[in-house]
Amino acid sequence: MARTPAPPRSRSAAPAETVAGVPLTHPDRLYWPADGLTKRDLARYFEAVSPRLLPWIAGRPLSLLRAPDGIGAETFFQRHAGRGTPARLTPVTPRGEASPLLQVDGVEGLVALAQFGAPEIHPWPAKSTAITRPDRMILDLDPAEGLPFDRVVEAALALRERVAALGLAPFCKTTGGKGLHVVVPVSGASWKGLHDTAERLCKALEAEEPARFTTASAKEARAGRIFLDYQRNARGASAVAA
């Protein structure tokens, strides 16, 4: 009697590579081709720095600089959740917003940003649950081409004096570029009050030393000067994370 042949064994798919439990597709995709750095490298970096990075961004709406094919290809900003958004990113719709924004709440969300091709993270200066009450003021110092970094440091120190005179305690952070941010924790502020205070501080410094500082955003006005940008203190604005 002929035996019925056993059905062929199905080959199980190779397990996906994961970082912090998050599957990575194409983990060897080059994000920084000149340095040989991959999606896997970015995912592992986000996992490693999560104890320091999450307190800066968690619970806040985010604007993301995306470079899904690497930084040498097309890049674009994304603020809203949509088709293709990883499940580990939290869609939030704070009061007054018509469309869901993006939020990260834990290390899995950070690693999902690497999978999403988002190497730059720009949080809002307010939490999603208290969107009408910003809790940090950011004064952005952007030097013109050719200005030495010492000049930026001097400007940050000058702004610190003016902020401290208001009874506030600023600190400084780098921007990832050639400038600095003077960051000021605040409480009980409104968006208008925050923006008006930031504008007043920057314009006072500009008036005192117009040859060194400008609050005009036009490139031609910045030649030889440091641009004092106070516009990151309006609702919907963001600044690069620490």
The per-residue pLDDT for 177 is 87
- Residue 215 burial by CB count (10 A; 0-12/13-18/19+): exposed, middle or buried? middle
- Worst-scoring range by mean pLDDT, 13-22, 118-127, 158-167? 13-22
Domains belonging to the chain, first-starting first, are 21-123 (no CATH), 136-233 (3.30.70.3300)
CA angle at 65 for the pair 71 and 156, rounded to the nearest 5°: 100
At 136-181, the pLDDT tens digits run 999 999 999 999 999 999 999 999 999 999 999 999 999 988 999 9
C-alpha to C-alpha distance for 15 and 5, rounded to whole angstroms: 29
| Confidence tier at 15 by pLDDT (50, 70, 90) | low
Going by C-alpha positions, the residue among 114, 136, 115, 128 that lies closest to residue 191 is 136
Cβ–Cβ < 8 Å for 89, 79: no
Q: What's the maximum distance between 2 C-alpha atoms anywhere in the chain?
A: 103
At 45-73, the pLDDT tens digits run 999 999 999 999 999 999 999 999 999 99
- β-bridge pairing 90-92 and 171-174: unpaired
Its pTM stands at 0.89
At 218-240, the pLDDT tens digits run 888 889 999 999 999 999 999 99
Q: Mean of the pLDDT values across residues 190-201?
A: 97
* 5 pLDDT more than 60: no
